[in-house]
Amino acid sequence: MRLPPTRRPRASRRALLGVAGLAGFLAVWQSVPALGLIDPQYLPYVTDVLARLSEQLVDLAFWRRLGSTMTSWAIGLTVATIAAVGLGTVVGLVPFLRRATHTMVEFLRPIPSVALIPLAVLMFGIQRQAALVIIVYASFWQVFVQVIYGVADVDTVARDTALSFGLRRWERWTHLVLPTTLPYLLTGLRLAAAVALILAVTAEMVIGNPGLGRMIELSRSAGDAVGLYALVVVTGLLGLAVNLVFRFVERRTLSWHESVRGERAL
């Protein structure tokens, strides 16, 4: 096999270039305030931001805020997923329901979830529940739409074959509907996880329930630019972690599926 020797240098070259790209970005960031292009008061030195970041890592209050944000994220995502899978399966399997709900879905889905922030605040005040309304609303649609498409995507030949082989209802579910829907569901879940994190942080910024988002807003109003940038970096890392975890889960769960197997063969 010739593959391994050609592959390894390319992979290491990629990693090296990627690290160089990150280092270049940090260098540019450092030099902009150093050269006086932007006042360090508005764009602090990257070294200061990283120093603050490492300070935060040993600060219990920081971890509590992070935990608070991630708790909202997890609860919101779970509730939205369960609701979306349940409703999506029913709506997707019954053609009448699909037709009847189509207009409603097409109208409700594009409503930006942040438009509901005032309503959520009125209903629940400055609490986690208000944030959850926003998070659940936004991530629900991501999963719901994918599940509807997935459930409806069952191959007609496979379905007829299953019927003529006399598969029972339960067997048709596990052997037919579930494997067809799973790729759609996981795509929806990955999108929903990212959206839920965005809205968890946003809700904290706008509503003011405790968490990273509120801390960002407080740093800004206190004029603490270093703290603000450090927290922005933290949210970026969180987003990255969420993306990577869900992508990993997707690849693992769908290792049998064409889309993943095809990639590996290349």
Residue 106 touches another protein, criterion: CB under 8 A: yes
Amino acid making up residue 24:
G
* Minimum distance from residue 253 beta carbon to another protein (Å): 16
Give the footprint of another protein on residues 35-74 (CB under 8 A).
Answer: 38, 42-43
Among 53, 131, 225, 226, binds another protein (CB under 8 A): 225
Would you count residue 84 as binding another protein (CB under 8 A)?
Answer: no
Residue 183 has a CB neighbour count (10 Å cut-off) of 19
**Nearer CB in complex with another protein: 85/145:** 145
Give the footprint of another protein on residues 163-222 (CB under 8 A): 183-184, 187, 194, 197-198, 201-202, 205-206, 213, 216-217, 219-220
Nearest distance from residue 205's CB to another protein, in Å?
Answer: 6
Report the interface residues with another protein, using CB under 8 A: 13-14, 17-22, 24-25, 38, 42-43, 99-104, 106-119, 121-123, 146, 149, 152-153, 183-184, 187, 194, 197-198, 201-202, 205-206, 213, 216-217, 219-220, 225, 228-229, 231-232, 235-240, 242-243
